[in-house]
Structure 1
Amino acid sequence: MRIFLRWIFLSTLLVLPVEGEPLSLFVGSTIVAGFGYLGYVKEWHKMILECYGERRDLRNIEERLTTNFREKLFGQHLAVPILVNVVLQHKRNQRPRKALTLALHGITGTGKNYASSIIADALFDRGMGSRNVHLINGNLHNDDPAFINAFKADLFNWIKGNISTCGDSLFIFDEVDKLPVQVIDVIKPFVDHNTKIEGLDPKRAIFMFLSNTGSERINRHTLEHNQKQKSRESIPIIEIERIVQEAAFNQGDGGFKESALISHHLIDYFVPFLPLTREHVILCIKEYASRENIKLSQENIEAVASSLVYFPRNDPVFASSGCKQIEEKVNLFRFLPSYEL
């Protein structure tokens, strides 16, 4: 074992991954020095074992994806089949041409983050708690050029380090529309076709980009469909995907707009999340109550659903915040029975 560990250390140039938000990467470089020779090797070896030991087998991944999407995510008949099939296809492929890139677009509360957590849970035993799942929030709260340049360098090394220890890593970029374009372009080498970075092969990794960009156009298209007396489920995926793709390239000042990921066609799938109806909200309420073992009467459920805001104002059909506020509303009803929703 000692010989094996020494061989790993001497033959591999690695950047030790740092868990947590990229904002912490400014201090991450000091960690390697602190480990010392043996400590570094043991830590790296532990990470390798966790990567391969925590991955679920393909059959388990398929079962979890299918079951959890069916039982926990509602109203996304376009998004779910795409996500299930492309993730399984990527995991089945022993030699993918590139890392899988998924852009999830829709208003708050439609299930983008929930879908990401379902995928994480399907891939790894510890789900979102796995050190192979990396969640990054795009709201940097700092547009200083010096900060951005430092962030870009640290983000590049952070991604490279995490892929070094687990090629099957899952990266989730939340609020990607708030990231400056130059930061987004740092990701390009990791998701390009047939790429290797200093001998590192990132093609088995999955990158998910969550964004509100295009949500207004998605809502408008869905509403127009509804006003024509057509069912929400009859919306063609091709129509919505085109709307999302155009919005991603042209809308806003950050995120994908004019980024290399768009101009080089490196986003594999644009996944639309449609606005949710009252029926879907009620399903969310029931699912949460069941999960938390909360007993609600049908009257209680209807009261929680009615407490949300729906649009458009003249003909309220879709929930403005989707299912995002469900937990808080149910908990108020649970802990304060006299509370009037």
Structure 2
Amino acid sequence: MDGVDPTPEASASERKISLMPPLRAAIRIRRKIRNLKKSRLQLDLSGRKSADSTKPSLIQRHSSNLTSFESPKFFNFDTPTLEQVALSNLRRKKKRKKSRPVLYPGNGKKYLPIEHKSKAKRCLILFIGIVCFQILNAIENLDDNVIKYELDGLEKTMQREVFGQKIAIDKIMALLKDYLATHWHNKPLVVSMNGPSGVGKSHMGRILAKHFRSVVENDFVLQYYVMHNCPSDSNITTCETELTDMISDMVTLAEIEEKIPIFIFDEMELMPPSLLDTLQSYFKLNQSNEYLNAIYILISNIGGNEVTKYFLQNVSSDVLNVPKELHTIIHSSLRQHHSIWDVAEIVPFTLLEKSHIANCFLDELLREGFYPDNGNIEKLAGQLKYYTIQDKQYSITGCKQVVAKVNLLHPYT
């Protein structure tokens, strides 16, 4: 029987038996794949996992690879099936979970982030405001000081009563306005009026004394005439003590009242050297504050001859408008006399023309109550002596003899 060939029926039955296990295995695999697809479809529709889909098996991974391989990667017009829609929704949900959304309070409104203001900026604005206020207050105080001394009225008085000295008036007013603008200073103001006799220096000193007595009271103004307060036959030591006491008392009282005292010294060319040294000691910078807040007016004829010569030689020159050379000439003469004028502001007084002398006669006649007759004024002005240069006449004695000439017009009783 071993060597006999099998019959056709036996061989067919053997082939069937050999094909059954693979066929059964394929059927089982197909059923499992179908069940997996159903479970996934149920998961997408209901959102819950089925009991048999907790762990993906190798067959499931193989089937997913097959589906991804079999799916076309190009655009087609086929309508997606229900399974494809579920898979695409699942992929979208996974992508959305990767990006974390910005969460806001449920009951609040959405606002832009607030810019926090710096406190340092507020302090800076406050500091700038304080500085501006202080500057404005300082400017107002400067104006108040100038108004307190009524310098505008003083300037008008000078222009009305002092003739032929416009340059001197402008310089004196500029010095006073600058110094009296504030009460605190680092040095006293020293003004020296120099020029020939009779040109208006002493008259200017009287105008200053009268004006400041009316605005700062008599206690803060001192008129010191050397021939009267310290004559040649008096004791110099006594003069020094009296002068020291007067200056100390005035500056102390002025410091309490916050006012600036005015000291007017006339006839300085007659003051003894020791008394000049005493007065010079008050011009130093290393003093207490009350001695630094003071004005000293020094009136003298020192340098008058040099001024006359220079004026007559340069009468047609433009240097008269800005007399810098004249200032140098006067300062050299003052330096030879004493060093007290080293710190002084020099104000030169020039010669007076004949028209200025006529104005002096007119002013004096009005003061004495005479009728201002022009013919009489010309006659009186012609009685004085003049320097005649280039058809111009300059008085030799200035207005010195005007008062004496007018007094002769009074009838004898």
User: Aligned partners of 2:272, 2:404: CA distance in 1, in Å?
Assistant: 32
- For 2:362, the equivalent position in structure 1 comes to 286
- For 1:142, the equivalent position in structure 2 comes to 232
- For 1:242, the equivalent position in structure 2 comes to 328
User: Is the CA contact 2:312–2:389 (under 8 Å) kept in the aligned structure 1?
Assistant: no
- Tell me: CA distance 1:86–1:304, structure 2 relative to 1, closer, same or farther (3 Å): same
User: How far does residue 248 in structure 1 lie from its aligned partner after superposition?
Assistant: 0.5
Aligned to 1:189, which of 270, 281, 286? 281
Q: Does 1:75 align with 2:197?
A: no
Q: Does 1:153 align with 2:241?
A: yes
Residue type at the aligned position of 1:149: T
- Tell me: CA distance 1:258–1:332, structure 2 relative to 1, closer, same or farther (3 Å): closer
- For 1:172, the equivalent position in structure 2 comes to 264
Q: TM-score, normalised to structure 1's length?
A: 0.69
Question: Counterparts in 2 of 1:1-341, with a 5 A limit?
Answer: 58-59=146-147, 61-125=150-214, 130-139=218-227, 140-142=230-232, 147-167=235-255, 168-196=260-288, 201-226=290-315, 229-230=316-317, 234-250=320-336, 257-259=337-339, 261-262=340-341, 265-267=342-344, 269-311=345-387, 317-333=393-409, 335-336=410-411
Q: Structure 2: 5+ residue runs without aligned partners?
A: 1-143
Q: Deviations over 1:179-213 (max 9, x none)?
A: 122211112232222521xxx61222211111110
- SS of 2:314's equivalent? helix
- SS of 2:351's equivalent? coil
Q: TM-score, normalised to structure 2's length?
A: 0.58
User: Is the CA contact 1:192–1:266 (under 8 Å) kept in the aligned structure 2?
Assistant: no
Q: Structure 1: 5+ residue runs without aligned partners?
A: 1-55, 251-256
User: Aligned partners of 2:411, 2:200: CA distance in 1, in Å?
Assistant: 27
Q: Deviations over 1:91-135 (max 9, x none)?
A: 1022111111111111221111111122223323179x9232211
Q: Deviations over 1:219-239 (max 9, x none)?
A: 01111112xx347x8342211
User: Aligned partners of 1:126, 1:331: CA distance in 2, in Å?
Assistant: 32
- SS of 2:305's equivalent? helix
Q: Deviations over 1:226-262 (max 9, x none)?
A: 2xx347x834221111111101012xxxxxx233x24
User: How far does residue 312 in structure 1 lie from its aligned partner after superposition?
Assistant: 6.4
User: Aligned partners of 2:159, 2:224: CA distance in 1, in Å?
Assistant: 27
Q: Deviations over 1:260-291 (max 9, x none)?
A: x24xx321x11111111111101112223334
Moved more, 202-211 or 319-328: 319-328
- SS of 1:92's equivalent? coil
Instruction: Answer 1 or 2: higher relative contact order, Cα 8 Å, separation at least 6.
Output: 1
User: How far does residue 215 in structure 1 lie from its aligned partner after superposition?
Assistant: 0.1
Larger-gyration structure (1/2): 2
User: Is the CA contact 1:275–1:322 (under 8 Å) kept in the aligned structure 2?
Assistant: yes
- Tell me: CA distance 1:248–1:312, structure 2 relative to 1, closer, same or farther (3 Å): farther
Kindly tell me the number of residue pairs found equivalent between the two proteins: 262
User: Aligned partners of 1:318, 1:116: CA distance in 2, in Å?
Assistant: 23
